[in-house]
Structure 1
Amino acid sequence: MDFGFFCPTRILFGAGRLNDLHKQALPGRKALVVISNGRSTKASGYLSRTVNQLQNAGVATVIFDRIEANPLKSTVMAGASFARENGCDFIVALGGGSVMDASKAISFMATNDGDYWDYVPAGTGKGLPLKHKPLPVVAITTTAGTGSEADPWGVITNEETHEKIGFGTDDSFPVLAIVDPELMVTVPPRFTAYQGFDALFHSVESYLSGQANLMSDMLALTAVEHVTAALPSAVEHGDDLEARTRVAFGNTLSGIVMHVSGTTSQHSLEHAMSAFHQDLPHGAGLIMISRAYFSHFIGKHVCDDRFVRLAQAMGMTGTSAPEDFITALMNLQHACGVDGLRMSDYGIKPEEFRKMAFNAYDTMGGLFANDRSELSIDDCVAIYEASYK
């Protein structure tokens, strides 16, 4: 029942809140505006609107537009060098989870020497202490998937070692987050679904985690209720602002709940998949393994009551069987049109499963400690095998 709660991020939530950016007490006078290497942020006008807001607040800007869907260490280092060269004193992350994650990593390396992997405390990272605080980050999320606007974590891929690892400190919470559902209406349906399921699994895992507590339970169940109820409409009708708002709310709660509780090894298993297959969207990978993953723990009967409560939060009122969570999950995947995802479409092959299982343990083994029963390497391989098509 004990918990610690720390979320120092000021959050502005609601449609149209980007328009209030210029009214905020911003943490510097020159911003590195970080966006993805795609075209959507520019084409939608969100970049120009953000720059105008910053200019109205007396802030100068430079743009760094190289962030990948699964951000790479080399890109982080390039962004940090760009920030130093241009004398930036804070960062504005404008985009989805990859942009916000990369911005946190860039903020570390803009003020600290060496290589980003010198400070990563897992895998082949050296785990060195950071000598200087990172640059402040303002997070303006244009998707509802990672909750990165409300947590300190950034997940970065080391392309040299095929390691995808999350890292953060109390200093890497964004100082300000703007969650404006109007910025999410242009996200295409399949990415809306991938991102929504990522948010859902953050809360599902945190509710099932051995670190769950009174506070995280409240946040997680509320997030699950909102995402489940609204995601199908957000996928089918992208301009449904009410649905977008409810999914965004669930997503932001999911970001907070990960810091109050903690996700489980499902995330480790997926990070290993996309570490080797850069084009695999994180949410899609989670969807692919979700049925086999959660079925494994239902078979262990380690927390039947929690699976029942999740099924109820997903709309299956009156249920008393933990297996009904799987039914609710499959129904939601079907409603969002993502029940046919295939590993093979992203080049994943069965002969990689054992390598990926070891990678999951070696790079993000800490999340396995949150599982309510121990997963062996063979168990991980079996989950991959059951998920393959």
Structure 2
Amino acid sequence: MTELPTPQNPESVFTYGAPQLKFGPGAADEIGYDLSLTGARRVLLVTDPGVARAGVAQRVADQMGQFDIEVAIFDGSHVEPTDDSLGEAVAFGRDNGPWDAFVAVGGGSAIDTAKAINLLTTNEGELMDYINAPVGGGRAPSKPLKPLVAVPTTTGTGSESTTICVLDVLSMKVKTGISHARLRPTMAVIDPLVTLTQPAGVTAAAGMDILCHALESYTARPYTSYERKQPHERVPYCGSNPIADMWSEKAMTLLAGSFRTAVRDGGNLDARADMALAATFAGMGFGNAGVHIPHANAYPIAGRVKNFHPKDYPAAEPMVPHGMSVSLTAPEAFRFTFAASPERHLRAAELLADREYPGLSDEELLPAVLVDLMRDIDIPNGCGAVGYDSSDIPDLVDGTMKQQRLLTTSPRPVTEDDIAGIFERSLRLW
């Protein structure tokens, strides 16, 4: 196999960042108090139509009023944000500002929408200026952002912990993102009570995002495998490191005990609480170490969707939910990366497995654990089950290779042929 080159001057420093964290049933009812400590008097609450209809966003807004905070609600967040939907959200933020702070109530889509509004109401320029190169300009914000409180109502993206805003660029049919430390929310408010309405299909897809966050950051190339950087050159994704490893392992342990239960019995508050913690812990892991091949593959799977309509998602247009798209090539991706760090792949399988796997080789163990879980929670059987076939692989590979920010985190160098092989073997997983 091709090894990573040994750096001439290896990195000896890793970085770690995380938001303030408040966890527990009822935590969402304390946001007004938390924001009052910042001196905020005018706040934009960002949510999506489904969460708005459920009344969760209004409940959060109402209790902020007790602290003389004026709240406006933007409920137009798009499930799986696009450059168009984020452009509309930013226009609303600019037209109705200025704002002292932002609150995001919803899944990763609402939180990422709030990140984009915060970025572009505090800094000049347009969305494409800040989108990661080579898709966009890759500009870094020059001014500080306002406080952002993130209240996840789904258990998956970990966006409440991370520096990433993910979106589809419609004209290019590619999923990409904006990444900078200033995008990280100021506070993550994790309230299991607001996740109880999450349907089984959403719980399954979003939960696979948690799992892949934890697995990819745990198996990412180590921070010491990079060339040493100057302080201003360091990025949030610095490679696997002892602190990120700790969060990733804990996330996997929580998932092993609660993932299947949360999908099958959405009213189980203990399972929901474990999933909510796992999402945040995995976010604290990958938000610092990074993710790699499954996430890079997921962007074109979602961005080039044809006619797939996922279970329990309200969107009228075709979509492959982010967590689902990440999972579809994960078994084969981790088969590919096994040789780079066998001990980590085996440890992950040990943490996640709910039964013994006699007779399997070490290389086969983690893919088998993942496939069993995916079957149990009703994830589609590979890329073919969401509408792709062999003729689509060149386009999918092209979209993946645009995600160099992610692919450089892979523990093995990865070529177009490698990615094509992973996609081919992922058309059907079982």
TM bracket (short chain): over 0.9
CA 1:104–1:380 in structure 2 vs 1: closer, same or farther (change >3 Å)?
Answer: same
Name the residue aligned to 1:55.
65
In structure 2, distance between residues paired with 1:53 and 1:215: 36
In structure 2, distance between residues paired with 1:321 and 1:8: 34
Unpaired segments ≥5 residues, structure 1:
none
Name the residue aligned to 2:53.
43
Bigger CA drift: 227-236 or 76-85?
Answer: 76-85
Does the Cα contact within 8 Å between 1:77 and 1:109 map onto a contact in 2? no
Does the Cα contact within 8 Å between 2:294 and 2:330 map onto a contact in 1? yes
RMSD over aligned Cα, in angstroms? 2.1
Task: Report Cα offsets for 1:158-197 as digits up to 9, x if no partner.
Answer: 2122232222322211111111011111100011011111
Q: What SS class does the counterpart of residue 167 from structure 2 fall into?
A: strand
Q: What SS class does the counterpart of residue 104 from structure 2 fall into?
A: strand
Match of 1:369 among 400, 408, 414: 408
1:229 aligns with 2:253: no
Task: Report Cα offsets for 1:30-56 as digits up to 9, x if no partner.
Answer: 1211112x42x1232211211112212
Does the Cα contact within 8 Å between 1:267 and 1:286 map onto a contact in 2? yes
1:72 aligns with 2:82: yes
Structure 1 segments of 4+ aligned residues over 4 angstroms from their partners: 316-320
Deviation of 1:296 (Å): 2.2
Question: Share of identical aligned residues, percent?
Answer: 25
Deviation of 1:344 (Å): 4.4
CA 1:65–1:347 in structure 2 vs 1: closer, same or farther (change >3 Å)?
Answer: farther
1:335 aligns with 2:345: no
Deviation of 1:93 (Å): 0.8
Match of 2:271 among 243, 250, 253: 243
Task: Report Cα offsets for 1:201-221 as digits up to 9, x if no partner.
Answer: 101000110021221221111
Deviation of 1:342 (Å): 5.0
Does the Cα contact within 8 Å between 1:187 and 1:238 map onto a contact in 2? yes
Q: Which residue type is aligned with residue 302 of structure 1?
A: A
Task: Report Cα offsets for 1:49-95 as digits up to 9, x if no partner.
Answer: 11112212221122222222210112222212211222223221110
Name the residue aligned to 2:337.
297
Does the Cα contact within 8 Å between 1:3 and 1:215 map onto a contact in 2? no
Match of 2:347 among 304, 309, 314: 309
CA 1:69–1:25 in structure 2 vs 1: closer, same or farther (change >3 Å)?
Answer: closer
Name the residue aligned to 2:189.
178
Bigger CA drift: 46-55 or 232-241?
Answer: 46-55
Does the Cα contact within 8 Å between 1:3 and 1:214 map onto a contact in 2? no
Name the residue aligned to 2:117.
106
1:205 aligns with 2:216: yes
TM-score normalised by structure 2 residue count = 0.84
In structure 1, distance between residues paired with 2:262 and 2:106: 18
In structure 2, distance between residues paired with 1:317 and 1:222: 19
Bigger CA drift: 24-33 or 199-208?
Answer: 24-33
TM-score normalised by structure 1 residue count = 0.92
Unpaired segments ≥5 residues, structure 2:
1-10, 222-238, 306-317
CA 1:293–1:129 in structure 2 vs 1: closer, same or farther (change >3 Å)?
Answer: closer
Deviation of 1:345 (Å): 5.0
In structure 2, distance between residues paired with 1:120 and 1:288: 25
In structure 1, distance between residues paired with 2:407 and 2:382: 25
Q: What SS class does the counterpart of residue 35 from structure 2 fall into?
A: coil
Match of 1:262 among 276, 290, 306: 290
Aligned pairs, number: 383
Match of 2:244 among 193, 211, 216: 216
Q: Which residue type is aligned with residue 260 of structure 1?
A: N
Q: What SS class does the counterpart of residue 412 from structure 2 fall into?
A: coil
